[in-house]
Chains A and B, each alone.
Chain A
Amino acid sequence: MLVTLSSDQEALRSTTARFLDERMPVATIRGLRDEPAGYTDAYWTQACELGWAALLVSEEHGGGTVSGNPLTDLSLIAYEVGLRAAPGPLTPVSVIAETLSAVGSESQLAVLEQLMSGTATAAWAYGEPAPHDALGTVETTMRVDGDHVVIDGIKRPVENASHAAYLLVTGRTDGALTQVLVPAGTDGMSIEELTSADLTRRYGIVRFDGVRVPLDAVVGEVGGAEERVTRQLKVALAIQNAETVGSMQRAFDLTLSWTADRYSFGRPIGSYQEIKHRMADQVTWLEAAHAIADAAIVALDADTPDATELIHAASAFIGGFSGEMLQDCVQIHGGIGVTFEHDLHLFLRRVTVNRATYGTPAEHRRVVGRLATQTMPGAAA
């Protein structure tokens, strides 16, 4: 999270924090373990009343930011969510709301209203199963047949798939990307619920077997979604990174307190140099994660030329180090760190799903490396 917030941003952050503290204490989150959607509609509607789904939506459509920097504002919410490993479809709803606000038809803008009020949620059906699971691979087809589009393919993992009223699905029409907004329950579409590593975040496999939707379900132009899909990925990564940094921060805080409270051989374990050095490493990775997450978000809001490189670099760094840092927190806790009773696993779970759902750290590194190879002048040895 940014070191310095404007007063409006601080108000947004503290309102979010108060809401989550009251509505989502850790006992409640634990109780959602067996909730089918991982959250209740009542909770999500309240979150939407606070404007969670509206930050990336234009003012014309009833949205708006507090600071003029929509992703930065949204990242404050995502960070507070991550600090508590709180539930809710913040990423898919935000990504889809922004898209509908930008290019949605009249009927799609009606869907946007439902998303903003929380009366409906959505799922972003982007990634595909192996062997087509590399970041950015799309094999799903969308064939235009008269005034219909026919969808064939499989999407996996799709966050919030079972509970979503609408799915934004990406496929190819004659090689070019197309996106279609498919209502839940459409004939030929089936959803298989997956077991998630996270306690409250649900994913599904969505299969499309000759699914026919009317042409007006297409979002934007047929074959014209390339740029928008790229943008959606960046937004999803920005939200996810902010959330992961929140979970890293909380795990670090828990672990630092533990090193003061836990005694071994008559002294706090935090008095051993080995533990001190590990905590020094942790706070360094943590501060670095804050720094690169924010740099990418600020660049995306300002639409600077380095935004693409920064968001993938942030995802590579945060994806890689969050896992290592959380596991080190577990190690320093000892046996209690691998129990269900201790809260640490809530944060370990969240960073674990985040580091794998929209590209692995290695995939993001490859994107950054390819960009560097293409753009750097013949450099000095």
Chain B
Amino acid sequence: MSTESVEDFRARARSFIRDNLKPLNPDSQFGALRNDRTEEQELAYVARDREIQRMLFDNSLAGICFPKEYGGLGLTPAHQQAFNEEIAGFEFPQRFQAPTIAPCAAVLLDFGTEEQKQRHIPAILKGEEIWMQLLSEPSSGSDVASALTSAVRDGDDWILNGSKIWTTGAWWSDWGLCLARTNWDVPKHRGLTVFILPLHQDGVAVHRIEMLNGSKEFCQEFLTDVRVPDTDRVGEVDGGWTVGTRWMFHERMLFSSPLVTTPKGNLHGAAGSGSLVAVSRELGREDDPAAHELIGEARTLELTKLNLNPRIAESMTSGRLNDQAAAIGRLFNGYTGQRIFTLEFDLAGSQGAAWCDNDGAARASGEDFLMRQAACIGGGTLEMARNVISERVLGMPREKSIDKDIPFRDVPRGAPSQR
């Protein structure tokens, strides 16, 4: 059978999308940063995402760049790009993109056994499995390789104990990709192993963290004597950093990955100049030059961001910059995100500080400002991005590290954090 052309695929995608999907409801946006929905609403959005994913699968539109043997279509990034363009403005299975499809499914494709891939990739593409990355820990955010969650061999199984954190929506998710320590007597990067495990089981307690704005989408998992069969190990024993490096690569590449659906023009959940325009309308400031200036700065940053990301991608492809340059995009996104929240809050003025139920956009701006720094923390802090850019892209001297060549059990650790 010959490969479907991009234009045939586009036409097929377009007619399916227009016949079956509703316009994108901005309120359904996936993310942990706003406290704007009830538990029932969020579960309804999750159910709808599963349903859409299943419809896409049944109509041969899911897993565009996934191999056919795992239920994908085996098509090209150009097909995914056409899909991204066609689905812009329509609902799409947001909760399956990150972290389920990338980095989790992408890591399974890279390192999973044949059984693991056969079992999970089709299930993901059918909307049956939503995944979480069990990566960060209460004691280690940026320093991921210092994970304390332990896995101890017990016959054909492993016993996991520890805690993972900052999993968005773990309370309604199904499976987790987990980085754990299997050897404490070697340097930190050499004693890690990756496992997969169901989240709904005895021994996994999912706690919903209340953020300062009341949102409870971020979770923490407590793993107590969780038994994982060795067949659910991903990659080599103590080879977890090899998997982890690739895992974090997929995380950084998220919105330029051909596996992921990123509707054209989508700004990944950040408030944008559209929110500012809404605030200015709500407050009757459409003709105010001061409002125009704030909106103009937000729009300028947004347009610059939209054009920076393809430039970085093109530079990595051409070899002008190495593949660590994705951190430049990360840094700019973080800067832009926090700045736009500030601009939105400045535009809203006092209604962003104290609001009533009728205040829509202006009220949200105050809450967004409170959560502003999340744009500079989640998905890798800006400080880590700056380290990567200066050391790996610009070739400036590396920071001295004292934990590289000593057994992990001898590495100094601070007091356990509050969590």
A: residues with CB less than 8 A from B are 3-4, 256, 259-260, 267-268, 270-271, 273, 275-277, 279-281, 283-284, 287-288, 290-292, 294-295, 309-310, 312-313, 316-317, 362, 364-373, 376, 378-381
Whether the pair B390, A373 counts as a contact (CB closer than 8 A) is no
Whether the pair A381, B278 counts as a contact (CB closer than 8 A) is yes
Q: Which residue of A lies closest to B400 (CB)?
A: A271
Cβ proximity bits B291-312 to A, threshold 8 Å, 1 near / 0 not:
1111111011101110110111
In the complex, A370 Cα to B272 Cα: how many Å? 15
Whether the pair A367, B296 counts as a contact (CB closer than 8 A) is yes
Whether the pair B275, A287 counts as a contact (CB closer than 8 A) is no
In the complex, A294 Cα to B389 Cα: how many Å? 22
Instruction: For A317, give its contact among B289, B291, B301 (CB under 8 Å).
Output: B301
Which 5 pairs of residues, A with B, have the shortest CB-CB distance? A369-B296, A379-B274, A380-B26, A369-B292, A365-B296
Find chain A residues with CB under 8 A from B314 CB: 3-4
Instruction: For B303, give its contact among A270, A290, A309, A373 (CB under 8 Å).
Output: A309
Instruction: For A295, give its contact among B301, B307, B390 (CB under 8 Å).
Output: B307
Whether the pair A381, B275 counts as a contact (CB closer than 8 A) is yes
Whether the pair A381, B279 counts as a contact (CB closer than 8 A) is yes
Whether the pair B278, A292 counts as a contact (CB closer than 8 A) is no
Quick check: which of B231-239, B256-264, B380-388 contacts chain A, the rest being far away?
Answer: B380-388
Question: A313 CB to closest chain B CB, in angstroms?
Answer: 4
Tally the A-B contacts, defined by beta carbons under 8 Å: 159
Say whether, besides A276-B390, A287-B312, A379 and B299 are in contact (CB < 8 Å): no
In the complex, A191 Cα to B299 Cα: how many Å? 40
Whether the pair A365, B297 counts as a contact (CB closer than 8 A) is yes
Question: B307 CB to closest chain A CB, in angstroms?
Answer: 4
In the complex, A295 Cα to B302 Cα: how many Å? 13
Whether the pair A280, B385 counts as a contact (CB closer than 8 A) is yes
B281 proximal to A (CB < 8 A): yes
Question: A309 CB to closest chain B CB, in angstroms?
Answer: 7
Cβ proximity bits B386-419 to A, threshold 8 Å, 1 near / 0 not:
1101110110110100000000000000000000
Whether the pair A279, B318 counts as a contact (CB closer than 8 A) is no
B360 proximal to A (CB < 8 A): yes
Q: Which residue of B lies closest to A306 (CB)?
A: B303
Q: Which residue of B lies closest to A289 (CB)?
A: B304
Find chain B residues with CB under 8 A from A271 CB: 396-397
Whether the pair A277, B318 counts as a contact (CB closer than 8 A) is no
Whether the pair B390, A292 counts as a contact (CB closer than 8 A) is no
Additional pairs, 7, CB under 8 Å, beyond known A371-B299, A379-B274: A280-B331, A281-B331, A283-B328, A317-B301, A369-B291, A376-B274, A381-B361
Whether the pair A256, B296 counts as a contact (CB closer than 8 A) is no
Q: Which residue of A lies closest to B36 (CB)?
A: A381
Say whether, besides A270-B397, A380-B274, A316 and B296 are in contact (CB < 8 Å): yes
In the complex, A379 Cα to B271 Cα: how many Å? 11
Whether the pair A379, B303 counts as a contact (CB closer than 8 A) is no
In the complex, A225 Cα to B400 Cα: how many Å? 63
Question: A6 CB to closest chain B CB, in angstroms?
Answer: 14
Q: Is the interface of A mostly helix, strand, loop or mixed?
A: helix
Whether the pair A277, B328 counts as a contact (CB closer than 8 A) is no
In the complex, A378 Cα to B310 Cα: how many Å? 28
Instruction: For B295, give its contact among A4, A364, A372, A378 (CB under 8 Å).
Output: A372
Q: Which residue of B lies closest to A381 (CB)?
A: B361
Question: A278 CB to closest chain B CB, in angstroms?
Answer: 9
Question: B317 CB to closest chain A CB, in angstroms?
Answer: 9
Q: Which residue of B lies closest to A293 (CB)?
A: B307
Instruction: For B278, give its contact among A4, A259, A294, A379 (CB under 8 Å).
Output: A379
Between A275, A362, A381, the greatest number of chain B beta carbons within 10 A of the residue's beta carbon is seen for A381
B177 proximal to A (CB < 8 A): no
Find chain A residues with CB under 8 A from B335 CB: 284
Question: A337 CB to closest chain B CB, in angstroms?
Answer: 19
Whether the pair B307, A291 counts as a contact (CB closer than 8 A) is yes
Find chain B residues with CB under 8 A from A292 CB: 300, 303-304, 307-308
Instruction: For A366, give its contact among B279, B292, B310, B397 (CB under 8 Å).
Output: B292
Q: Would you mind naming 12 contact pairs between A and B with Cβ atoms under 8 Å apart?
A: A3-B314, A3-B315, A260-B396, A279-B396, A283-B328, A292-B303, A292-B304, A309-B303, A313-B300, A373-B277, A373-B280, A379-B277
In the complex, A287 Cα to B326 Cα: how many Å? 12
Find chain B residues with CB under 8 A from A283 CB: 328, 389, 393-394
Question: A201 CB to closest chain B CB, in angstroms?
Answer: 26
Whether the pair A368, B386 counts as a contact (CB closer than 8 A) is no
Whether the pair A281, B303 counts as a contact (CB closer than 8 A) is no
Whether the pair B394, A317 counts as a contact (CB closer than 8 A) is no
Cβ proximity bits B354-387 to A, threshold 8 Å, 1 near / 0 not:
0000001100100000000000000000010111
Question: A37 CB to closest chain B CB, in angstroms?
Answer: 35
Q: Which residue of B lies closest to A370 (CB)?
A: B292
Say whether, besides A4-B314, A276-B386, A317-B301, A291 and B308 are in contact (CB < 8 Å): yes
Whether the pair A284, B389 counts as a contact (CB closer than 8 A) is yes
Whether the pair A372, B307 counts as a contact (CB closer than 8 A) is no
Find chain B residues with CB under 8 A from A362 CB: 293
Find chain A residues with CB under 8 A from B297 CB: 316, 365, 369
Find chain B residues with CB under 8 A from A316 CB: 296-297, 300
Find chain A residues with CB under 8 A from B281 CB: 378
In the complex, A123 Cα to B396 Cα: how many Å? 45
Find chain B residues with CB under 8 A from A277 CB: 383, 386-387, 390
Whether the pair A279, B394 counts as a contact (CB closer than 8 A) is yes
B222 proximal to A (CB < 8 A): no
Instruction: For B275, give its contact among A256, A284, A312, A379 (CB under 8 Å).
Output: A379
Instruction: For A279, give its contact among B310, B311, B390 (CB under 8 Å).
Output: B390
Find chain A residues with CB under 8 A from B332 CB: 284, 287-288
B286 proximal to A (CB < 8 A): yes
Instruction: For A372, give its contact among B277, B318, B320, B393 (CB under 8 Å).
Output: B277
Whether the pair B300, A365 counts as a contact (CB closer than 8 A) is yes
B39 proximal to A (CB < 8 A): no
Q: Which residue of A lies closest to B336 (CB)?
A: A288
In the complex, A373 Cα to B291 Cα: how many Å? 9
In the complex, A29 Cα to B305 Cα: how many Å? 35
Cβ proximity bits B174-218 to A, threshold 8 Å, 1 near / 0 not:
000000000000000000000000000000000000000000000
